[in-house]
Amino acid sequence: MAKKVDVIIIGAGSAGLAALRQIRKTTDNYLLIDHGPLGTTCARVGCMPSKALIKVAGNLHGAARLAKAGLVDGKAPACNIPAVLAHVRKLRDGFATGMLEATRRLAGERLIKASARLLGPGRVRVGDSEMACSRVILAVGSRPTVPEPWQGFRERILTTDSFFEQQDLPRRLAVIGLGLIGIELGQAMARMGIQVWGFGRNPHICGIRDSEVNDVAIAALSREFPLYTGAEAHISPTADGLRIRNGSKEIEVDAILAALGVTPNTAGLGLENLGIELDKRGLPPFNPHTMQVADLPIFIAGDANGCLPILHEAQDEGYIAGVNATASAIGPFQRRTPLKIVFCDPQVAAVGQTIDKLDAAAIVIGRADFTEQSRAIAEQRNSGLLHVYVDKLDGRLLGAEMIVPGAEHLAQLLALAIHRKLTVTDLLTMPFYHPTLEEGLRTALRDAAQQLDDGRLPRELSLCESCPEAPLC
Ligand SMILES: Cc1cc2nc3c(=O)[nH]c(=O)nc-3n(C[C@H](O)[C@H](O)[C@H](O)COP(=O)(O)OP(=O)(O)OC[C@H]3O[C@@H](n4cnc5c(N)ncnc54)[C@H](O)[C@@H]3O)c2cc1C
Ligand SMILES: NC(=O)c1ccc[n+]([C@@H]2O[C@H](COP(=O)([O-])OP(=O)(O)OC[C@H]3O[C@@H](n4cnc5c(N)ncnc54)[C@H](O)[C@@H]3O)[C@@H](O)[C@H]2O)c1
């Protein structure tokens, strides 16, 4: 007779741990299964080491610009790549160790280091044992996609699983795939003095949907490394490296960074034993508000479900799965306002609804050109474009997309505004300190306001019916 527990969580990453925090509120009778390496993708090979590298590369770039402008004596510093990689690993180890300790603290003896496979809805093979459970949470994450034909020259292919373990980096490198990883790491490596070429088959980079913002992004980022978009890149081995051909462009490189997206770790998980139809990627149907798989006592959260492979969404999905896996009745949860930030320079961000999902006739687009933004000029980083999408009828902010300095902060602010269903007028009554990058957002909001109604700008300060007696100063 198989041992029975209330819940089995497969995967101790960010989604699995978020689920566990909820489950522990209701039961001690759970198991957390992970074959390792433990410590989460985010801390080990994802968000955190990549941001550590981007910071060093950004500092090098700043120093090079000061030298070029003659504002410091001497030449631009040359990057010590092995030292930078060691520095990134040291920080990374701190983050990963912290996550590992948190995992052990949370799960204690209920953490089992083994591979898990579903045998049926309430049956899981854990290593060599069979377990029975009332509910299962699948939080197995994803891995970098590497096309089958590339296996022939695998030793010249880096992915984010191997990148941060390198002691040094090749001097000529092609980044294939110009989504979030390709652009973030491609720019960082170019700033470290590596010759980098970027190839993407999508005409849009960084997942940008707004064509005008995309054009500005390509122009801004290709000043640092050439970007070839909108065509398939063909790769063949040469005596000393790899040849990349994309239309008329042909180059030879030492290695490739494959940044082609992620593949959920569901192969070998036994999904075929659940008696449900899988999609063409081999993924099960699930409800994104309950995380339930079909009508089974199974939940799927994080990168594993192939839907929104970013950290805060993985954590939210783990939370929902954890609550529902221990609830007497499964309930739907509201998902947050969509938010995406790409940590290139200038930063790219998208918040709320994207332009491809909006009816062009029902919105106005407020625009701010950051080449003319005063704080950005003072800091010599004046480039970029910000678009806000506003409902023509009620002036409500629906979404925004941008490539601008400080986009991470503007996007967070806009996410709150969209979540609170604020209008352009509501936002324009907010104080905007001078000189800040937020004043660039005000330019876009005023532009949108002018296009609404009769074209008159809204009154940004209200007349007070009875002004407070207290002095302001
Ligand atoms: C380079 C890079 C940079 C990123 N930067 C950002 C960023 O800046 N911001 C952001 O929001 N997101 C970023 N992300 C995305 C973010 O890291 C992921 O969305 C998130 O970590 C996914 O968490 P998860 O819990 O779904 O998966 P994971 O953390 O990968 O957890 C899955 C776990 O399941 C285990 N497992 C798999 N199969 C089995 C099995 N059969 N049996 C037992 N255990 C198993 C694995 O060992 C692993 O521990 C980045 C990703 C990468 C690669
Ligand atoms: N700042 C962040 O939030 C951040 C940073 C890095 C990674 N991530 C997460 O990690 C995941 C993986 O990142 P990613 O950049 O690998 O994926 P991605 O989905 O962002 O981009 C993959 C890109 O590769 C292109 N592509 C696919 N096959 C190709 C081919 N054969 N030739 C040329 N181009 C090809 C796609 O068109 C797409 O533009 C992302 O989904 C993202 O959510 C997030």
The predicted pLDDT at position 321 comes to: 98
Instruction: Measure 139 CA to ligand 1 centroid, in angstroms.
Output: 9
Q: Are 35 and 48 in contact (CB under 8 A)?
A: no
**Distance separating alpha carbons of residues 449 and 441, to the nearest angstrom:** 12
Residue of 129, 146, 310 best suited for mutating to test ligand 1, as the one with most atoms within 8 Å of CB = 310
The predicted model scores a pTM of: 0.97
410's CB contacts (< 8 A; 6+ apart) are 349, 386, 400, 402, 404, 437, 438, 440, 441
The predicted pLDDT at position 2 comes to: 64
pLDDT per position as a tens digit, 336-357: 999 999 999 999 999 999 999 9
The token pair that represents 119 in the structure block: 């045998």
Residues in the ligand 1 pocket, defined by CB under 6 Å: 10-16, 33-36, 40-42, 45-47, 50, 115-116, 139-141, 160, 181, 265, 269, 302-304, 309-312, 314
Report the share of the chain in percent with pLDDT over 70: 99
Q: Is 177 in the pocket of ligand 2 (CB under 6 A)?
A: yes
Average pLDDT of the chain is: 96
Domains, the chain, in order of start with CATH, read 4-144+263-325 (3.50.50.60), 148-260 (3.50.50.60), 339-452 (3.30.390.30)
Residues listed for the chain: 473
pLDDT per position as a tens digit, 70-124: 999 988 999 999 999 999 999 999 999 999 999 999 999 999 999 999 999 999 9
The predicted pLDDT at position 465 comes to: 84
Q: Is 343 in the pocket of ligand 2 (CB under 6 A)?
A: yes
DSSP structure string for 319-342 = HHHHHHHT-SS----PPPPPEEEE
Q: Is 178 annotated as a binding residue?
A: yes
**Amino acid code (one letter) for 36:** G
Beta bridge partners, 228, equal 199
Beta pairing, strands 123-126 & 116-120: antiparallel
Instruction: Measure 181 CA to ligand 2 centroid, in angstroms.
Output: 6
Q: Are 410 and 437 in contact (CB under 8 A)?
A: yes
What mean pLDDT is predicted for residues 413-432?
97
Is 434 designated active site? yes
Assess whether pLDDT exceeds 90 at residue 459: no
The token pair that represents 301 in the structure block: 């959260």
Q: Among 353, 337, 327, 329, which residue's Cα sits nearest to residue 416?
A: 337
